[in-house]
Chains A and B, each alone.
Chain A
């Protein structure tokens, strides 16, 4: 398995709270991604980064923000959590022989009450 970590694994929080989901990888990968995954649905790209100080929004409209100050660290922040943010969030980075494969973290399951 790839060395990519996410914390917390599970989070239950009240509406309006600010939360940060952590993602880190020890593989030195430049490209990192955040996906939102709901049961029975495809993964939706919400943010990605091609390197330090590079961040872009993905296809899914999101009220979250990301930062990339260090290569290994790509945190996702929700300024004001809402029940519609309840989902699983997956972090990934690209590596592999030709730099073409995504490696995933274990995910964070978020429940907003």
Chain B
């Protein structure tokens, strides 16, 4: 069964605008971690932002922020003031307590100049 679902295979955004990438997950645990990773074309996958489930406050890293809805099991990523360098595949990931990670199928983000 799919643990992490990203329902948007592709998204596009105008440069300087805001875009939101969706992610839902399935778990029966109360304590876990959620992540958004960015993978530019032919480049290394890097961490964008992480959220600890027991923290109610949404994580923020500069232009990147999340909307974490624990009850709804939703973890969306908002990118503000989009830049050309934001173009990449974005993966949502869930970490179980056993140190195993589960990834979504990714969202390909295009930034239009």
Contacts and interface: CB of A to CB of B under 8 A. Distances in A.
Do the two shown chains form a genuine complex with each other? Answer: yes
Nearest to A106: B44
B47 A41 contact: no
Contacts of A102: 35, 47, 93, 95, 101
Given A48-B100, A101-B35, A101-B50, A40 B44 contact: no
B28 interface: no
B84 interface: no
A78 B101 CA distance: 23
Given A90-B45, A106-B44, A100 B95 contact: yes
B101 A42 contact: no
A103 B47 contact: yes
A71 to B, nearest CB: 16
Given A41-B105, A43-B91, A105 B99 contact: no
> Which of B47, B95, B104, B105: most chain A CB closer than 10 A?
B47
A97 B33 CA distance: 13
Interface in B78-103: 91, 93, 95, 99-103
Contacts of A33: 101
B47 A40 contact: no
Contact of B44 (A41, A50, A98, A104): A104
A46 B50 CA distance: 24
Contacts of B95: 100, 102
B106 A42 contact: yes
Contacts of A40: 9, 105-106
B45 A104 contact: yes
Given A104-B37, A104-B46, 11 more contacts: A1-B44, A1-B46, A31-B99, A40-B105, A40-B106, A42-B4, A43-B91, A94-B99, A100-B52, A106-B43, A107-B44
10 contacts: A33-B101, A42-B104, A42-B105, A45-B101, A100-B33, A101-B50, A104-B37, A106-B43, A106-B44, A107-B45
Interface of B: 4, 9, 33, 35, 37, 43-47, 50, 52, 91, 93, 95, 99-106
